[in-house]
Amino acid sequence: MIRYGEIGLKGRNRSDFEKRLLENIKTTFGKEVDIHIRHKRLILPVVDEETLKLYERLRFVAGIQSYSLAYMTDRSKDQILKAIIELVENEKDGVSTFKVETRRSYKKFPWSSMEFSALMGEEILKRFPYLKVNLKEPDLLIGVEIREEGAYVFTEKAKGMGGLPVGSSGKGMVLLSGGIDSPVAAWMMMKRGVRIEAVHFASPPYTGEQAREKVFDICRVLARYSNGFLTLHIVPFTKLQLSIHRSVPTKYSLVAQRRAMVRIAEKLASRRRADVLITGENLGQVGSQTIENMKTISSAASIMVLRPLVGLDKQEIIALARTLETYEISIRPFEDCCTIFVPKHPATRSTPELLENLEKNIPDYEKLIEEAIENVETFDVEAVW
Ligand code: ATP
Ligand code: MG
């Protein structure tokens, strides 16, 4: 039984959202399953071991609030009780207290929720006399849901990702380095329903095969949250980077590089019909990440640039990276293109006008940008589970 809180509240587009969530679950599973919508719940019959394995993937699907492995029965008191007894049998190790909690959306059920919980409680006490009822902090919480199509009995509620189904909030192009932050930024937007493609700037031979593999590995993990696959564009950045390095005063070369990235990403975004760029920038985390520089970087393009990590502390970002399992990959020590060409003391202040003027000194700047886009490599990266 799959619950989807936030969508349930969204009166206006509920059925679109439900359908999208349903499709996303199927695509995440990578196979056709007999999953269906039943009054603000999704029901996935677990018919075999394989489905049980796929069930574990639900934690990667944005839009799901929680989910439970449940017994489904008809609405007769005896059948429900039978399921409850079986559940207690299975779960009773280390359990000394319990509580039954009934919800009913089927209003013709002959008992009120309270009455039915009490009734089931008594029956449990008869069969397991050593158990006690504890309404505040039970060891075992037995959930009963009485619904139109039948009754469900369950205990554990696994927490889902929350948020909105991927694809319900447009499409974004994330600038994905090999670092800790940008994968988290991508994930935060996916959680809010944005479908993501990634663009990575590589500078071979200054950045090696292992740095490239690292980005692929990050995509393989991020793809779990994106219906099982993620499109990755790799842009050859060496020529541009060398040219910027030679022609722009060192302290501004980082901002100039970022502006070039944003320019290229904007063109890719329009080619791929993405509505927005996303970066892992964060205010003040490193000296160069100032509001002024962000403004200078954004002004290189007319597409909107979102920075979902802007208000988080590094520790908060790391905690998220750990839960979404990109952290261990991100801390592998291979050089990113920017770590190589990065000045020791990048400017903390800049203006769009200053950078526009400096960029005039880069020979063939526009041509190099075009050339980088012409030579982009595109991959559909599949999730590792
Ligand atoms: P991250 O952990 O994502 O690398 P960071 O805190 O190290 O971020 P920077 O290295 O200054 O910050 O990069 C800021 C942002 O610029 C990154 O979050 C990413 O969105 C983008 N970026 C930097 N380098 C690259 C790259 N080689 N390819 C694509 N995007 C990049
Ligand atoms: Mg970085």
| Backbone phi, psi, residue 139, to 5° | -70, -35
pTM higher than 0.95 for the full model?
Answer: no
On the 0-12 / 13-18 / 19+ scale of CB atoms within 10 A, 85 is: middle
Could you read off the pLDDT tens digit of each residue along the chain, which spans 385 residues? Answer: 999 876 555 566 788 888 999 999 999 999 888 898 888 899 999 988 988 899 999 999 999 999 999 999 999 999 999 999 999 999 989 999 999 999 999 999 999 999 999 999 999 999 999 999 999 999 999 999 999 989 999 998 899 999 999 999 899 999 999 999 999 999 999 999 999 999 999 999 988 899 999 999 999 999 999 999 999 999 999 999 999 999 999 999 999 999 999 999 999 999 999 999 999 999 987 778 999 999 999 999 999 999 999 999 999 999 999 999 999 999 998 766 666 677 788 999 999 999 999 999 999 999 999 999 999 999 999 999 9
Give the pLDDT score at 10: 55
Work out which ligand 1 atom sits closest to the CA atom of 184.
3
Q: Which ligand is nearest to the CA of 320?
A: 1
Give the pLDDT score at 31: 87
Residue 336 Cβ inside 6 Å of ligand 1? The answer reads yes
Give the pLDDT score at 226: 96
CB count within 10 Å of CB 125 equals 14
- Residue 315 CA, ligand 2 centroid: distance in Å: 16
Give the pLDDT score at 338: 61
Residue 234 Cβ inside 6 Å of ligand 1? The answer reads no
- Residue 314 CA, ligand 2 centroid: distance in Å: 13
Measured by CA distance, the residue closest to atom 12 of ligand 1 is 281
The candidate with the shortest Cα–Cα distance to 204, out of 248, 235, 247, 180, is 235
Work out which ligand 1 atom sits closest to the CA atom of 337.
27
Q: Which ligand is nearest to the CA of 184?
A: 1
The span from the CA of 350 to the CA of 347, in Å, is 7
- Residue 364 CA, ligand 1 centroid: distance in Å: 25
Work out which ligand 1 atom sits closest to the CA atom of 174.
20
The candidate with the shortest Cα–Cα distance to 305, out of 274, 347, 331, is 274
CB count within 10 Å of CB 215 equals 25
- Residue 183 CA, ligand 1 centroid: distance in Å: 10
Residue listed under structure tokens 């597409």: 303
Question: What are the Cα distances from residue 159, in Å, to 64, 215, 224?
Answer: 8, 28, 16
**H-run or E-run covering 340:** helix 337-341
> SS3 for the chain, per residue?
CEECHHHHHCCCCHHHHHHHHHHHHHHHHCCCCCCEECCCEEECCCCCHHHHHHHHHHHHCCCCCEECCEEEECCCHHHHHHHHHHHHHHHCCCCCEEEEEEEECCCCCCCCHHHHHHHHHHHHHHHCCCCEECCCCCCEEEEEEEECCEEEEECCCEECCCCECCCCCCEEEEECCCCCHHHHHHHHHHHECCEEEEEEEECCCCCCHHHHHHHHHHHHHHHHHCCCEEEEEEEECHHHHHHHHHHCCHHHHHHHHHHHHHHHHHHHHHHCCCCEEECCCCCCCCCCCCHHHHHHHHCCCCCEEECCCCCCCHHHHHHHHHHCCCHHHHCCCCCCHHHHHCCCCCCCCCCHHHHHHHHCCCCCHHHHHHHHHHCCEEEEEECCC
- Residue 206 CA, ligand 1 centroid: distance in Å: 16
Residue 281 Cβ inside 6 Å of ligand 1? The answer reads yes
- Residue 360 CA, ligand 1 centroid: distance in Å: 25
Query: Cα–chain-centroid distance for residue 222?
Result: 7
Ligand 1: residue of 175, 215, 241 to mutate (most ligand atoms within 8 A of CB) is 175
The span from the CA of 322 to the CA of 316, in Å, is 10
Measured by CA distance, the residue closest to atom 21 of ligand 1 is 175
Residue 18 Cβ inside 6 Å of ligand 1? The answer reads no
The span from the CA of 331 to the CA of 320, in Å, is 14
Measured by CA distance, the residue closest to atom 30 of ligand 1 is 175
Domains (ranges, CATH) in the chain?
A: 2-69 (3.30.70), 71-155 (3.30.2130.30), 171-382 (3.40.50.620)
Residue 176 Cβ inside 6 Å of ligand 1? The answer reads yes
- Residue 338 CA, ligand 1 centroid: distance in Å: 8
- Residue 296 CA, ligand 2 centroid: distance in Å: 18
The span from the CA of 224 to the CA of 44, in Å, is 19
Q: Which ligand is nearest to the CA of 201?
A: 1
Work out which ligand 1 atom sits closest to the CA atom of 175.
30
19: CB partners within 8 A, 6+ apart: 37
Q: Which ligand is nearest to the CA of 175?
A: 1
The candidate with the shortest Cα–Cα distance to 324, out of 194, 197, 231, 190, is 190
The candidate with the shortest Cα–Cα distance to 139, out of 91, 82, 67, 102, is 91
